[in-house]
A = this chain, B = another copy of it.
Amino acid sequence: MNLTKHLYPTILAGGVGSRLWPRSRKSAPKQFLDLTGNGRSMLQEAYDRMLPLVPPDQIYVITNREYVETVRQQLPDLPETNIVGEPAARGSAAAIGLGAIHLQKRDADAVMAVLTADHLIRKPETLRQALVGAAELAQSGELITLGIEPSYPETGYGYIEMGEPIGVFNGLEARRVRRFREKPDLTTAQSFLEAGNYVWNSGMFIWRVDVIMAQFRQFMPQLYTALVALQNALGTPEEAQAFDAYWMPLQGNTTIDYGVMEKAKRVAVFPVDLGWNDIGSWAALLEVLPKDEDGNVVHARHLHHESNNVLVFSKDRLIATIGLQDMIIVDTDDVVLVMPADRAQDVKKIIQALKENQMHNYLE
């Protein structure tokens, strides 16, 4: 059986990436930016990674309606019908459900590979290998997740506790998922690493479309009802009305982890080394991106005296630094952000202050 014939990489690209403010803005969130300096946005890289596996016609992008035009511009070879716009964000479970009904309508045997657009993956061939292996395993009705082998006790990610091996698929071993664990405290994270059978939850999933729909029916009946109604309305004159009636009232922002994965019975994981990084903050970029001969990550015109491990982003200004260590400087048209690398998580405090002070223009 040709495993890729029914494989549909479905890229979630609706996030706002606020921890990478001021580069990541409401008008151009993280996934649409070229943060690695290679000339391709995160979304374009996610798309490019799939081209050796499937034709563009099999790739889908789920995003907010306000970004549909951006996706179209960034991925001109992607058929327009493969760009699915949510009228409003309703959490990752709903976004995935929306993708699923499109796929199911097209191909009853569709295998959906939910991918992220805002993560760095330096070993794309391993990702492709895992997707093919997972597509094979998915035929048996499993819900499959990709787990990242942890290199340190990160407290900002969810973890997956792995059980016994369940087989080798396309050269990669799959294991039973015992439990999803939410972001742990440091002691817990350390115990996970010592235990050895925990991986980071990558947010990438593979399943047959009919299987995930059955899970929605069982664990998220309100969402399921909405999805069925929407599916019937897709491409008809009633589509807009159906979104108003069924999508907009969806409650909360339920994640697929909480809504389905933590409750489902047959869940498997491929522990993989993808050279993965979620670059969820400027500090992560400083850690991950290549450094120049002075040990700085420079995406700007930079002149310095005794500075190292400094991340410098600017489009057109000269950034001059003296005696800086472990520092982040992000210069944009209207904002300059300066902070030590170990304070990068506090960007959200600035964003909060901007909202409180009615300075929304700096977020847009």
Contact = CB atoms under 8 A, between A and B. Distances in A.
Contacts of A244: none
27 contacts: A303-B350, A304-B350, A305-B350, A305-B353, A306-B346, A314-B336, A317-B333, A317-B335, A317-B336, A318-B334, A318-B335, A319-B336, A319-B338, A321-B337, A321-B338, A321-B339, A322-B339, A322-B340, A322-B349, A323-B339, A324-B338, A324-B340, A329-B336, A329-B338, A331-B336, A336-B336, A338-B338
Q: How large is the interface on A (under 10, 10 to 19, 20 to 34, 35 or more residues)?
A: 35 or more
A51 interface: no
A332 to B, nearest CB: 8
Contact of A320 (B314, B318, B324, B336): B336
A356 to B, nearest CB: 10
Contact of A338 (B306, B316, B320): B320
A360 to B, nearest CB: 12
A62 to B, nearest CB: 31
A322 B336 contact: no
A284 interface: no
A357 interface: yes
A350 B322 contact: yes
A258 interface: no
A313 to B, nearest CB: 11
A318 B362 contact: yes
Contacts of A316: 334
Given A303-B359, A324-B340, 8 more contacts: A303-B350, A305-B353, A314-B336, A319-B335, A323-B339, A323-B346, A329-B336, A329-B338
A33 interface: no
A305 B336 contact: no
Nearest to A321: B338
B22 A320 contact: yes
A115 interface: no
B303 A354 contact: yes
Nearest to A323: B343
Interface of A: 22, 303-306, 314, 316-324, 327, 329, 331, 333-340, 342-343, 346-347, 349-350, 353-354, 357, 359, 362
Contacts of A321: 337-339
Contacts of A349: 305, 322
Contacts of A336: 314, 317-320, 329, 331, 336
A282 to B, nearest CB: 10
Nearest to A354: B303
Contacts of A327: 338
Given A303-B350, A346-B305, A334 B317 contact: yes
A362 B314 CA distance: 16
Contacts of A340: 322-324
A357 B320 CA distance: 13
Contacts of A329: 336, 338
A352 to B, nearest CB: 9
Nearest to A343: B323
A202 to B, nearest CB: 28
A323 to B, nearest CB: 4
Contacts of A305: 346, 349-350, 353
Contacts of A357: 303
Contact of A337 (B320, B333, B350): B320
Q: Give the top 4 A-B pairs by smallest Cβ distance, nearest first.
A: A322-B339, A323-B343, A305-B349, A320-B337
